[in-house]
Amino acid sequence: MWPFSSPYPTRQPLELRAEYDYIIVGGGTGGCVLARRLAEDSNCSVLVVERGDARDNWLDRFPLASTHHWSDRKHSMVLTADMLGAKTDIITGKGLGGTSRINAMQYSRGTPGEYNAWAQAGREGWSYQELLPYFERAEGLYSPATKGHYGTEGPWKIQAPTTTFKFGVNKHLFQAAQRVGFSYGKDVSDPKLPTSGCFLIHHTIEPSGTRHSTFRAYLPKDFVEAHDENLHLSVNTIARKIETEPLPDGSLQASGVLIQNSAPGSASVLVKARREVILCSGALRTPQVLMLSGIGPEKHLRDMGIPVVHNLEGVGSNFQDHMGTHMDLQCPLHDSLALLIKRPWYLLYQLFRYFIFGDGWFLTSLVEVCILTCSRWLNEDGSQKPLSEEDKDSSKPENVPDIEIMSSPIVDWRFPGYDHSRGGFTMLAAPQRPFSRGTVRLASSDPLAQPAVTLNYLAFPRDRAVLRAAVRLCMRVVREMEAGGYAVGHWRAPRGTDDAALDAFIQAQSWSFLHYSSSCRMAPRDDPEPGVVDHALRVHGIPNLRIADASVFPQIPAAHLQAPVVVVAEKCADMIKAAWAV
């Protein structure tokens, strides 16, 4: 017990061995999973290189206070990018557990049709039924549990929702959505349900009421201490480049990783890899590490003065993200987090509920419910059309939802026009199947510098049309809330429903949902959208270099990405073990 407990076991670069069987670059959402699964075999040695730290205090576990926008930002990397002609912040996690330690904790697998589309496009082994065992192996769903399609024995604790809403505004939205025509779905990941409906959301919160990042789930201190001989974690450490050597057949092999402490001016250390190097640094940093290693688009590397080791056009291309538009509205004060500001005694009451009873407003990410649908199923007024039996089949790729609507009981009440006697809530509308593609490129040959990110949102007219439909749906649900007697105040909302009014509103009121993916997509090297890894996650032309993070998704999933990333890492671990089985 503190102050007598030992620190979490980590090592500095100069304390590492000269060689490991596996080197994992990035100890984020997927990196922790992969490290655990590989290190379970005590006969192999594993090194994890992570640019953040291993801190795990109560602030990192407190669900609301650890979420990026409410946190001390210790575990956030904030970068900038161009978005719709303006600069915007883009955020990713830093430290063991990565983004799973700062995100909104929403757990959604994605629909079966999502992964069936991958398999139909030639991604062997990636259909929903083939991935299902990996979802179940990771999941530790606990009471109140909907059993039958979840794992309950996995390390990653998943909290099932109840119909007792913490925030009244979410209850009224849920009821209004059903009156508009959306069916009630208790479980957004239930493969038996249609992909269109109003769903309750699961969260990665453990039974004690604390955030359950993949760091806490897969690399708890007792596991790392028990595997001290074969698992080493080097935190506050960056990978400068992947070292490669030519093979007789003309391909390359990854021979090691050049690393250094993240403090500027630190000495570099080369650590050799006997078997494989696996990149788990995310859709922003993984392509950066590859390009710093001379692996990427030839022209760009030459322009940056980096010797070309392996020309691979797909590196950093095909970058995708979920972006969305937010409507700021007003509601009764008691249904909004604004009550904690206006009534300090209520803040103390909610803290008491959380720490004593493990309940209340602080045991949440604020998002309790979502609406999912396909834009083709919406009427002009935003209501839901009747669905055919074919439409209800979640295994069909054409039924993957392209719209998500969420609400959150908070707004930025500093803006002019906000009525401080009332509460506020935000409606969020996002296209889930964007066609637009951005890029991740180097801005510098310095590994400490941020990459140059072009988001390129709404470059395809179809994406803009879907977003307009999503905003109209938000407005339709709000009107239904008002018709049901709920006092909604229009504060920052569209001035009309015509295309011009919606486009102006979208331009002013959109942001990233921080779901970065597909910058090293799984596809053939000569695909029209060039791939970087094959179906075994091996980088084309470098068979012992793999990637296991969100950058490999062939297309961004219509889901919150932490669950799909964990499944990629679980599957990658099995593929690596099979490749090196004696």
Detail the residues annotated as belonging to a binding site for FAD: 99
The count of other CB atoms within 10 Å of the CB of residue 17 is: 11
Which of the following is catalytic: 310, 326, 515, 540? 515
Dist. CA 262–CA 135, nearest whole Å: 34
Secondary structure class of 45 (helix, strand, coil): coil
- Tokens 């309950």 sit on residue: 152
Secondary structure class of 568 (helix, strand, coil): helix
The count of other CB atoms within 10 Å of the CB of residue 391 is: 18
> Of 342, 54, 399, 79, whose CA–CA distance to 225 is shortest?
54
CA 366 to chain CA mean position, Å: 17
Indicate the annotated binding residues.
99
Distances (CA, A) of 327 to 175, 424, 462, 491: 19, 10, 21, 8
How buried is 556 (Cβ within 10 angstroms: 0-12 exposed, 13-18 middle, 19+ buried)?
A: buried
- Tokens 């402490």 sit on residue: 261
* Residue 322 falls in the annotated catalytic set: no
474: Cβ contacts below 8 Å, ≥ 6 apart: 327, 382, 405, 427, 429
Do residues 341 and 333 lie in contact, with contact meaning Cβ atoms separated by under 8 Å? Answer: no
The DSSP H or E segment spanning 352 is helix 344-352
DSSP per residue over 158-225, as a string? EEPP-S--SSHHHHHHHHHHHHHTPPEES-TT-TTS-SSEEEE-EE-B-TTSSB--HHHHH--HHHHH
How buried is 338 (Cβ within 10 angstroms: 0-12 exposed, 13-18 middle, 19+ buried)?
A: buried
* Residue 560 falls in the annotated catalytic set: yes
Dist. CA 110–CA 572, nearest whole Å: 19
Dist. CA 44–CA 52, nearest whole Å: 25
The DSSP H or E segment spanning 403 is strand 403-408
The pair of structure tokens assigned to 363 is: 């045991």
Q: Among all residues, which ones are annotated catalytic?
A: 515, 560
